[in-house]
Amino acid sequence: MDRPLLFGQRALVTGSTSGIGLAIARTLLEAGAEVFVHGLVDAVEQERLERDLRLIGPAHFVAGDLSDASAIDGMMAQCGALDILVNNAGIQHTAALADMPAAMWDRILAINLSAVFHTMRLAMPAMAQRGYGRVINIASVHGLVASVNKAPYVAAKHGLLGLTKVAALEYASAGSRQSGGVTANCICPGWVETPLIQPQIDARAAACGGDREAGVRALLSEKQPSLRMSLPEDIAALVLFLCRPEAHNLNGAALPVDGAWTAQ
């Protein structure tokens, strides 16, 4: 019997206790990887997640405050040498530029950008030594275009694209076609149907007489021409493709999954 695609590989997915991150963790486990799941949850939720995910494959929970560089060092040491690093964790706060609290600016930049720098600098040298590695940073459509009232988020996501391009250049020659090489790419989702945005969907559906699909179309109509959301599993499927050996020359890219939002 053929081995699973990612058999013997070790992956870390930050921010993977729900939504896109959890879908990515599940997909990597299903493909045969050993997966470190990360998030800030209580002991009961941690136990539940580990129990459920271990029905799929070897899953381990790691904690770590991504705003603290020393905590990231400890988290990465706990994971050991990684073949796949998916930086998915992120936070958001909306306010006008003049009203954005300075402390919130610092925290969003720390978690959404600086933490990615720290995980990449710790993981990528060993990837280069082995000749295979995949860094996949979940950015956002806001890494490509801006929106009002999101200054730190947009700044961090634009910076994430630049950081990823630098890493792609520095490690482009590592490995070979046979080994799979070392790549760094960004995925830039538009609207994705996650629990985080469910209240917005519910509000629009109520305004449309309880018609959920009409509510979704109304929510997306201003920016996403497809008028339909992606599912977390759609993003996870793209992550899995980027892990394939055939993706060895897909490097330094910002891949929009945005229903033609950025085509406008």
Q: What is the DSSP letter of 4?
A: P
Q: What is the pLDDT of residue 1?
A: 62
Residue (of 13, 150, 10) closest to 89 by Cα position: 13
Instruction: Annotate 190-208 with three-state secondary structure.
Output: CCECCHHHHHHHHHHHHHC
Q: Which CATH architecture has domain 10-192+230-259?
A: 3-Layer(aba) Sandwich (3.40)
Q: What is the largest CA-CA distance in the chain?
A: 60
Place of tokens 């936070």: 91
Q: What is the pLDDT of residue 116?
A: 98
Q: Which residue among the candidates 61, 105, 132, 153 is catalytic per the annotation?
A: 153
Instruction: Establish whether 153 is a catalytic residue.
Output: yes
- The residues that bridge with 9 in the sheet, in sequence order, are none
pTM: 0.95
The residue ranges of the chain whose pLDDT is under 50 are none
So where are the chain's domains?
Answer: 10-192+230-259, 195-229
Residue (of 78, 81, 91) closest to 40 by Cα position: 91
Q: What is the DSSP letter of 223?
A: T
Q: What is the pLDDT of residue 187?
A: 98
One DSSP character per residue, 125-192 reads HHHHHHTEEEEEEE--GGGTS--TTBHHHHHHHHHHHHHHHHHHHHHTTSS-TTT-EEEEEEEEE-SB
